[in-house]
């Protein structure tokens, strides 16, 4: 009888819980979790795994795996100790530190966020989460408001039509002319990033998706007093958070959602 292979799903948010539930349906595999469920084996009782599934982001500090449902972050070194020789380590945004640690343990790390189909599908919950934040943090309906989307990658492409369907006037600020042309093909007004200062003057909402400092003090000073900035970019973000705090600008930095609010 062929021996079952093992998957360890470690850390992360509800997405990891759903992943574990779905992976348990695979024939010929057993699934264990760490830092996700109330009843789990102690680390020393974990069976050797063939595949380790880390969250997104997998290991932001290079040493620990976020585990908000557990008692604290999980040690990456501890998790790797339970892998079989030649085990596969999967994580979102696996940096060089994860790659090196896996190699040192005789395992191979792969970044599942390098798969384009996953990135496109992941843009949908990100866009919906951004809209939820906007609805919760503003005192009026979104319909009739004016939103500026900085960047026109996967997230903005998912976000723009959903905002428009809610009656929001959307303008895209994008550096690349091809990105602006793509937006305009869908009937979305698009301007160069150099026009961001002018667009900020009448914006009710600003959604940033670019991990570069585009929303600096000079731009933030142009925003109306009750404007809301939602920064969806990965670290280091695209907003001067200290300047926003000094100006009293409401900013939500939505890292992988749920958000980290900066007021």
Q: Is-same-fold flag (5-114; 122-262)?
A: yes
> Helix (H, G, I), strand (E, B), or coil: what is residue 258?
coil
CATH tag for 5-114 (out of 2.60.120.10, 3.90.470.20, 3.40.50.10420, 3.40.50.720): 3.40.50.720
CA distances from 61 to 18, 173, 209, 224 (A): 25, 32, 22, 36
Q: How is domain 122-262 classified at the CATH fold level? A: Rossmann fold (3.40.50)
* 133, containing H or E segment: helix 116-137
Task: Specify whether the CB–CB gap between 52 and 83 falls below 8 A.
Answer: yes
* pLDDT at residue 112, rounded to an integer: 93
**Rounded Cα distance, 53 and 90, in Å:** 5
Quote the pLDDT of residue 257: 53
Interacting residues of 46 by C-beta distance below 8 A, sequence separation 6+: 8, 32, 34, 82
154 CB-near residues (< 8 Å, 6+ apart): 119, 120, 122, 123
13 burial class (0-12, 13-18, 19+ CB within 10 angstroms)? middle
- Where are the chain's structural domains? 5-114, 122-262
Are β-strands 260-262 and 250-253 bridged in parallel, bridged antiparallel, or unpaired? Answer: antiparallel
Alpha carbons 99 and 96: distance in angstroms, whole number: 5
Can you name the residues that pair with 207 across neighbouring β-strands?
149, 230
Tokens describing residue 168: 């929001």
Q: How many CA atoms lie within 13 A of 114 on its CB side?
A: 8
Residue 122 is predicted with a pLDDT of 87
pLDDT for 1:
45
DSSP structural state of residue 77: H
In tens digits, what is the pLDDT along the chain, a chain of 263 residues?
Answer: 457 899 999 999 988 999 999 999 999 999 999 999 988 999 889 999 999 999 988 998 999 999 999 888 999 999 999 999 999 999 998 889 999 999 999 999 999 999 999 989 989 999 999 999 999 999 899 999 999 999 999 999 999 999 999 999 999 999 999 999 999 999 999 999 999 999 999 999 999 999 999 999 999 999 999 999 999 998 889 999 999 999 999 999 987 654 433 33
Please name the residues in contact with 165: beta carbons below 8 A apart, sequence gap of 6 or more: none
User: What sign does the dihedral 192-193-199-205 (CA atoms) show?
Assistant: positive
Kindly provide the residue ranges of all beta strands, DSSP E only, lying in 144-216, ordered along the sequence: 146-150, 169-174, 189-192, 205-208
What pLDDT is recorded for position 2? Answer: 59
């Amino acid at each position: 009888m062929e021996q079952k292979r093992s998957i360890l799903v470690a850390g992360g948010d509800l997405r990891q819980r759903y992943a574990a539930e779905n992976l348990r349906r695979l024939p010929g595999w057993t699934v264990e979790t760490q830092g996700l469920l109330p009843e789990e084996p102690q680390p020393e009782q974990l069976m050797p795994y063939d595949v380790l599934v880390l969250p997104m982001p997998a290991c932001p500090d290079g040493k620990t795996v976020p585990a908000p449902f557990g008692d604290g972050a999980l040690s990456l070194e501890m998790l790797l100790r339970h892998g079989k020789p030649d085990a596969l380590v999967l994580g979102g945004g696996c940096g060089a530190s994860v790659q090196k640690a896996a190699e040192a343990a005789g395992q191979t790390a792969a970044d599942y966020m390098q798969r384009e189909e996953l990135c496109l599908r992941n843009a949908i919950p990100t866009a919906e989460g951004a809209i939820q934040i906007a609805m919760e943090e503003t005192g009026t309906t979104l319909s009739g408001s004016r939103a500026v989307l900085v960047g026109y990658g996967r997230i903005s492409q998912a976000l723009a039509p959903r905002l428009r369907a809610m009656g929001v006037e959307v303008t895209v600020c994008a550096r690349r002319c091809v990105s602006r042309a793509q937006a305009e093909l869908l009937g979305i007004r698009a301007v160069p990033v150099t026009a961001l200062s002018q667009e900020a003057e009448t914006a009710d909402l600003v959604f940033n998706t670019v991990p570069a400092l585009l929303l600096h003090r000079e731009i933030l000073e142009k925003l109306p007093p009750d404007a809301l900035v939602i920064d969806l970019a990965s670290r280091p973000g695209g907003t001067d958070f200290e300047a926003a705090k000094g100006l009293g600008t409401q900013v939500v930095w939505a890292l992988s959602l749920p958000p980290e609010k900066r007021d």
